[in-house]
Structure 1
Amino acid sequence: MRQTPHAPVRAVIYLRISQDREMDGLAIDRQRADCERIAKDRGWEVLHEYVDQSKSATDKTKVRPAYDEMVRDYEAGSFDAIVCYDLDRLTRQPRQLEDWIDAAEDRGLKLITANGEADLNTDGGRLYARVKAAVARGEVERKSARQSAAHVQRASQGRPPKGVRPFGYAIDGSVVPAEAEVVAQLFKLFAVQDGPSLAALAAGLSGKEAKHIPKSLHHVQRFTRTLAEERNERRAVEGLEPRPVPEDGPWSSSTVLGILRNPRYAGWSVYTDRRDRTKNKRRSWYAQVMRDENGDRIKGQWEPIVEEATWLAVQERLDMPERVTNRAGSTSRKHLGSGLFLCGICGKPVKAHGARYRCAGHVMRVRSSVDDWVLRIVRARLARPDLKDALPSRDEPRLRAIQAQIAAHEGKIKRAQHDYDEEIIESYDLKRVRERENAKIVVLEAERTALTATTDLGGVLNAESPVAAFDDADLAIQRRVVDFFCTVELLPAPRGRRTFDPETVRVTPKGNDARASS
């Protein structure tokens, strides 16, 4: 918009700093003083001030609220000139700069910096702006490449990543015992296929109580508050004023998911490429595990909190198709027999339907009556003196055989890699060998997981009073105990009979109990 000779130039000031660690506004104040002086010297009327504090202009995906507001206001014709401290305070993106240059050429926008060299109303100023933006962008890319190379090097050496520490570990990679205990408990609970949901685990950490929430979890202060308190402790040592600490609050399911997805807890070195713009939010954890030149996982120089088998079992459950398609993200059950008890007609699992268990067209039974009868049988079994005979045992010979087979397949991959390096085989041959052997390894690791992941019955079988421990256990543990001891089949209730008939609930012993009764 062209101005008449007597109309004052309507100007705005844009202020930005990439990272204000102190958040005291002093850096912004210094920029403001210079910008206001420029506007005053030119006789411009400053209408508004836009401030983006601790906002980077390097990453084009980052949102700068004040900048975006300024763009909208200019398009609406609200001002005619922009004053900023330096060109890179306005933008580090050549594409964004070209938009402002177009605005200067087409609509007469005035853009002045404190050094006076980025006047877009002159060809020299536009040339300087373009060159400076290109140089700044190149330096950003070189810096990013150097940082990425350093991070890759650390990960290749198995050293802890820099940055914010994860829950359970200190910055140097050492274990934080109290937090590590919570992490191990989360993995243990979620590793079982019918275990508690992410929401139930988050509720347990938040101190909530309900039948579906594991009783073995207790309230833990939200991690963001812990990090803020630790930051203030460091500031106190440096003689700096403390910064605000967020209130404690409930844990979120996404935070629990982030813990369960992190390969570091299994002792594997990780590297996440921040430049990877994949839009798949459920990106496989394999993309984060660092591997050597032979494709083997690199061990981290820190103590694992969970066993590899447990970590893999958790990933298997997280990747279940029913979780991907379930908006609630929960695969846990809310009732004792839902998905566990079977239809006595077709053999399929029954589902909860209101106050009943139902198999469409076959069975409709009152849930409370069935549950009471099954619980009565399980309690009787737990009270028997031969309970210890029911404890499971691992197949150690098979475990050793599986480990040997995995090593053999990994050896074939290494030999193929060696042959490729020596130019004996082509790249497609190496790829074919890797795909074939890795597919076999995946199958073997799944079997190893099934053998090494012991049945988690919440300590019920080893308790001083197994019956009391069973009654005090959460629903997930009770379901596992029921499934461990017996198979429950529901038959149709006799017509016209309102009282519960135990003969219509067939309870068949499993394992050692089945052999003893045969």
Structure 2
Amino acid sequence: MDGLAIDRQREACEKIAGNRGWKVDEDSYYVDQSKSATDKTKKRPAYDRMVADFKADRFDAIICWDLDRLTRQPRQLEDWIDAAEDRGLQLVTANGEADLATDGGRMYARIKAAVARGEVDRKSARQSAAQNQRARQGRAPKGVRPLGYATNGDVIPNEAKAVREIFRLFAIQNGPSIAALAAGLSGKTGDHIPKSLPHLPKHTRTLMMERNERRQIEGLDPRPVPDDGPWGSSTVLGILRNPRYAGYSVYTDKKNRINKNKRRTWFSQVLRDDSGQPVMGQWDAIVEGYTWHVVQERLDDQSRVTNRTGSTARKHLGSSLYLCGICDEPVRAHTRGYRCAGHLIRSRSQVDGFVLRIARERLSRLDLLDAVPLADEPRLRDIQLRILEHQGRIKRAQHDYDAEIIEGMDLKRIRARENAAIADLEVERLRLVGGSDLKVILGAEDPLVAFDGADVAIKRRIIDYFFTVSLFPHPRGRKAFDPSTVKVEPKRRSSTGTIGPLTQRAP
């Protein structure tokens, strides 16, 4: 990326043109810096422009540093051979001439292209083996560092804090959408945008600034730094999908990968040992394993996958949370109110204001700490390990079936048994995790201040945890708000504390 190799190649090619008396226009240079000719899926803009210019008869000869600088794809080479035969294209390389107009020259070009392709395949195999070995040893993979981690696997505190908050918020049932999380990282504000997320510069900008620091130490000129801008939803999705944050070692065998679903690609990259257990990395996890799995479940939720609006966050306090007092079905947001078709339409501001007053009164009580849900973290870890054990048994049974050790009916029976056990464990895990996000408010030094400054998703969780809210039709002809038409009933929970009667009884 320092451009020095490009300069050397350019000088050698210009010398050949001068020796042959060929004219080279200013727009006759085609440079794809750091664009591999190996991967046929990669876009090479300058190469594509060169192909278009040749078809438009803008040149009749090509000078390149080496044949594999032009292409490493046999199919593309055959196109240039056809051009030499049909239109007299001349091709010159700096380390020897490849005359495509002769049988010997074409054979040389084909052999060289095949050798180059073979070396690419061998290099790829060596790199894949090395990456697989690193992953099985639990060492941090090489390449671009993810947000929150240094290249050696060390945790970067301020970035890790943002990553934890991203996972915590998205793990909340009906919590903020990926777009809202991206907006929060970008420093934007709004009712549906989390206020607890720190504003960070775009990760690509941070990475380039770090690279320039290394270039300066090496005595090289800095490269252009991209402007700061809003975070993209795809970047946040990549963070939420990355198993490395939960401490899992990852590896992807691209050639043998069966799962092509991009939404599930990260989950399939968790490396497992011979017994089917996940390989843990040597780095410190930023989020708990069960939190990562809860996030994957929300990402895999079909209601999100099929959502065409791009938003999964509730923007109104009572939408799908309040119930219709007539049919007990959730009400929906409707213009400036809440609506249950055929039963009622209520003013949103009046109802929300009343419910928020009751919620604030509950949060001001001295016995609030008795209602804080306590997640049994050792039990959560034990559940996660047991789930992985059952998944490992299914994988071993599949291996035995492929090896013709067991019959299809045995595989089906084992799958049914292990999946049933997994389902029971998932129910218990979700029950334990369900109230962990409430600690942000209930465990705060001043719960009222924390509640007032929270986003809509957190306020909804507090209300849903403490109360059942039912709406009834408002009397006709009466403009003033009637509290008797909103029924707020406290919920009682024996497993995580008892919520007693309100000091101010709700209608």
TM-score normalised by the chain length of structure 2 = 0.89
State the SS of the aligned residue for 2:97: coil
Pair 1:291-2:269 in alignment = no
User: Is the 2:371–2:499 Cα contact (8 Å) retained in structure 1?
Assistant: no
Structure 2 regions of 5+ residues with no counterpart?
Answer: none
State the SS of the aligned residue for 1:164: coil
Pair 1:170-2:150 in alignment = yes
Cα deviations by residue, 1:133-164 (Å, 9 ceiling, x for unpaired):
01100110111111111111111121111111
Q: How far apart are the structure 2 equivalents of 1:77 and 1:279?
A: 41
How far residue 362 of structure 1 moved from its aligned partner, in angstroms, is 1.7
User: Is the 1:410–1:437 Cα contact (8 Å) retained in structure 2?
Assistant: no
Q: How far apart are the structure 2 equivalents of 1:419 and 1:29?
A: 58
Residues 302-451 of structure 1: pairs in structure 2 closer than 5 A: 302-394=283-375, 406=387, 409=390, 412=393, 425-426=405-406, 432=412, 435-436=415-416, 438-440=418-420, 442-451=422-431
State the SS of the aligned residue for 2:436: coil
Structure 1, 97-106 or 318-327: larger mean CA deviation: 318-327
Q: How far apart are the structure 1 equivalents of 2:261 and 2:395?
A: 31
Say if 1:225 and 1:419 are closer, same or farther in 2 by CA, change over 3 A.
closer
Q: How far apart are the structure 1 equivalents of 2:91 and 2:382?
A: 73
Say if 1:409 and 1:36 are closer, same or farther in 2 by CA, change over 3 A.
closer
User: Is the 2:139–2:282 Cα contact (8 Å) retained in structure 1?
Assistant: yes
Q: How far apart are the structure 1 equivalents of 2:345 and 2:300?
A: 32
Query: Residue type matched to 2:325 in 1?
Result: G
Aligned to 1:504: 485
Residues 457-468 of structure 1: pairs in structure 2 closer than 5 A: 457=438, 459-468=440-449
Aligned to 1:7: none
Aligned to 1:134: 114
Say if 1:245 and 1:156 are closer, same or farther in 2 by CA, change over 3 A.
same
Aligned to 1:99: 79
Q: How far apart are the structure 2 equivalents of 1:136 and 1:469?
A: 63
Cα deviations by residue, 1:469-502 (Å, 9 ceiling, x for unpaired):
3222221111111111101111122223222211
Aligned to 2:229: 249
How far residue 56 of structure 1 moved from its aligned partner, in angstroms, is 0.8
Say if 1:403 and 1:155 are closer, same or farther in 2 by CA, change over 3 A.
closer
State the SS of the aligned residue for 2:29: strand
Aligned to 1:35: 13
Cα deviations by residue, 1:44-95 (Å, 9 ceiling, x for unpaired):
3334222222211010011111110111122222222222221111101111
Say if 1:401 and 1:45 are closer, same or farther in 2 by CA, change over 3 A.
closer
Structure 1, 254-263 or 28-37: larger mean CA deviation: 28-37
Say if 1:441 and 1:308 are closer, same or farther in 2 by CA, change over 3 A.
farther
Query: Residue type matched to 1:494 in 2?
Result: P
State the SS of the aligned residue for 1:457: helix
Q: How far apart are the structure 2 equivalents of 1:288 and 1:103?
A: 43
Q: How far apart are the structure 2 equivalents of 1:156 and 1:405?
A: 22
Q: How far apart are the structure 2 equivalents of 1:307 and 1:128?
A: 57
Q: How many residues align?
A: 495
2:141 to 140, 144, 161: 161
Q: How far apart are the structure 1 equivalents of 2:121 and 2:266?
A: 27
State the SS of the aligned residue for 2:487: strand
Query: Residue type matched to 2:296 in 1?
Result: Q
Q: How far apart are the structure 2 equivalents of 1:76 and 1:401?
A: 67
Q: How far apart are the structure 1 equivalents of 2:454 and 2:15?
A: 71
State the SS of the aligned residue for 1:52: coil
Alignment root-mean-square deviation, CA: 2.9
User: Is the 1:508–1:514 Cα contact (8 Å) retained in structure 2?
Assistant: no
Aligned to 1:150: 130
Aligned to 1:18: none
Identical residues among aligned pairs (%): 64
Cα deviations by residue, 1:322-376 (Å, 9 ceiling, x for unpaired):
2212234321111110111111222221111110101122221111111111112
Aligned to 2:46: 66
How far residue 514 of structure 1 moved from its aligned partner, in angstroms, is 6.4
Cα deviations by residue, 1:257-296 (Å, 9 ceiling, x for unpaired):
1111100111111012345597533234331100111211
How far residue 397 of structure 1 moved from its aligned partner, in angstroms, is 11
Aligned to 1:181: 161
Q: How far apart are the structure 1 equivalents of 2:399 and 2:241?
A: 32
Residues 10-25 of structure 1: pairs in structure 2 closer than 5 A: 21-23=1-3
Cα deviations by residue, 1:407-432 (Å, 9 ceiling, x for unpaired):
774685588589789x8924857854
User: Is the 1:338–1:350 Cα contact (8 Å) retained in structure 2?
Assistant: yes
Cα deviations by residue, 1:167-219 (Å, 9 ceiling, x for unpaired):
11122212122221211111111111121111222222222222222222221
Pair 1:46-2:24 in alignment = yes
Aligned to 1:9: none
State the SS of the aligned residue for 1:459: helix
User: Is the 2:490–2:499 Cα contact (8 Å) retained in structure 1?
Assistant: yes
Structure 1 regions of 5+ residues with no counterpart?
Answer: 1-20
Aligned to 1:476: 457
User: Is the 1:395–1:451 Cα contact (8 Å) retained in structure 2?
Assistant: no
Q: How far apart are the structure 2 equivalents of 1:403 and 1:53?
A: 46
Say if 1:414 and 1:262 are closer, same or farther in 2 by CA, change over 3 A.
closer
How far residue 381 of structure 1 moved from its aligned partner, in angstroms, is 1.7
Say if 1:411 and 1:41 are closer, same or farther in 2 by CA, change over 3 A.
closer
Q: How far apart are the structure 1 equivalents of 2:392 and 2:42?
A: 45
Q: How far apart are the structure 1 equivalents of 2:75 and 2:61?
A: 19
Structure 1, 476-485 or 265-274: larger mean CA deviation: 265-274
Cα deviations by residue, 1:225-259 (Å, 9 ceiling, x for unpaired):
22222222222332333333223322222211111
Q: How far apart are the structure 1 equivalents of 2:93 and 2:484?
A: 88
Aligned to 1:5: none
Aligned to 1:494: 475
Structure 1, 443-452 or 185-194: larger mean CA deviation: 443-452
